[in-house]
Chain A
Amino acid sequence: MVLDSLRLDGPPRRVAIITGGSRGLGRAMAGALAEAGADVVLASRTLSQLETAAAQIAVETGREPLIVPTNVQKSAECDALVARTLEHFGRLDIMVNNAGIGDRRGAGEKIWDLDDADWQDTIEVNLYSTFYCSRAAARALREQGDGGVILNVASGTALRSSANSFGYAAAKAGVISLTKSLSGMLIGEGIRVNCIIPGYVAQHPPHSQEEFERVQQRGQFNTVRRLGEAWELGPLAVFLCSDASSYVTGESFVIDGGGLAGGIAPTGYTMAFAEGSGNV
């Protein structure tokens, strides 16, 4: 039955790691996966934020997430994240590679001003991290021997010109490419690899009237006249991490309100031809 296929409570109960899982989109997806029955492992750099997120999820679901402070730019820390997960929960089923930073050093700069270190940092935090965690997860899933899911998070900026964050966009384009190649490599192991490509999505509810108005205003430029809200990624993540998507791999799911389906005319631009052209 379709609703059963969307559950993650097993048996066996699925174990999901979410990098960047303490805030924003990662936190939203972690909450949704936990609600669908998974045991979740939250990884990010800041312990206090991990503790807060874990406490909330524990209250919401009655199950305690594991928290593992991790810098996903470090290969060894990604390996340790998976090892700690196996030690604590005894298995791994789902790796959500969500960690990434858009407005990192160098964002907004022109290419002639950008130094090597800024470029490397951007590529490392957004692309290397996905490689490190995917490799660590693939090793564990392969050894475990009953398949699994890798879910990457890219960005709509990877698919269009993104002059103000071209390093980020390039790294995320790399994530999309990695998704496709790894899907082919890992399908023989029963591991599905997919990607979510978010457009403009607010990371948290507005904290002030000023922020509320800013978000409202930015939303007017989007097809659906609003920005996405982080929770909207939750159901999509559950679908892609569960058996409900059993015939889906190598695929990137855009969630952007329709921006990428349009974007060749200003939002709300209405085509109207002169009378007599046969197309009024």
Chain B
Amino acid sequence: MFSACEDTVDIQVNKGTSALVVEGWLTDRPENHYVRLYLTNTLSSSNGFDPVSKASLLLTDDAGNSEQLKEIGPGRYEISTMKGVEGYTYTLRILTSDGNYEVVSKMPRLSMAPDSLTFKYEEESVVYEESGYYPYLHGQELEGKDDYIQVKLFKNNKYLNSAGDINIFPDEFVDGNYISMGLDIDSAFVQGDTLRAEVWSLSESAYNFWTDIRTQLQNGGIFASPLTNARTNVKKLAADSKNVVGYFGTSLVRTVERKVE
């Protein structure tokens, strides 16, 4: 509603201190899973990130399984024997030279298994910036509150990683209903595009983590709120361990696919 101006500027900020980043997720898909360990970088750096090697990662669940993760590349640790199972509680213990950490994550149920995808054509308007096809996801939401899902989108096999493509939903206002809802996308689809939508079940803390990332990237304008760090579920085991950010999550995943005719 306001035609205000935005332009990019360069800023100088202090260096700050680096933190350990834990990036990993376990699903029920029949494939190997990975945990990346690396250090945060300064804001202006355009280089990659420094990996954290030779750390010890032990994954256990409450059904008696355990696995010591193997480092298959610098800072990249593989989960190859353990699998994600609904309702199991997983504990990942990380020991590095700068500190020791633990993450506990219970595999949440998938409260909305997707039935199908449809597309609707919209003309350019105030609400739809581009004319084109906009996707809708359909599925039955299971009764019972405090379920959360994330819908990851792949257009022509390419993962959509713009802030406008983040789709996360709580069931608070739609619990138990049959859902037909529009998915947020950064740019419209055209004829011939294929869309693959993966529905990932999230725990409340994983939903908060993704909400924080989305808020950070969509913040701005007149009603911006102060920057907040994305809430992590990784806990330090000793007060003098290096600070840690990132997330280790567990999800059930179901997929639907459709082509724009």
Q: Indicate, yes or no, whether A interacts with B.
A: no
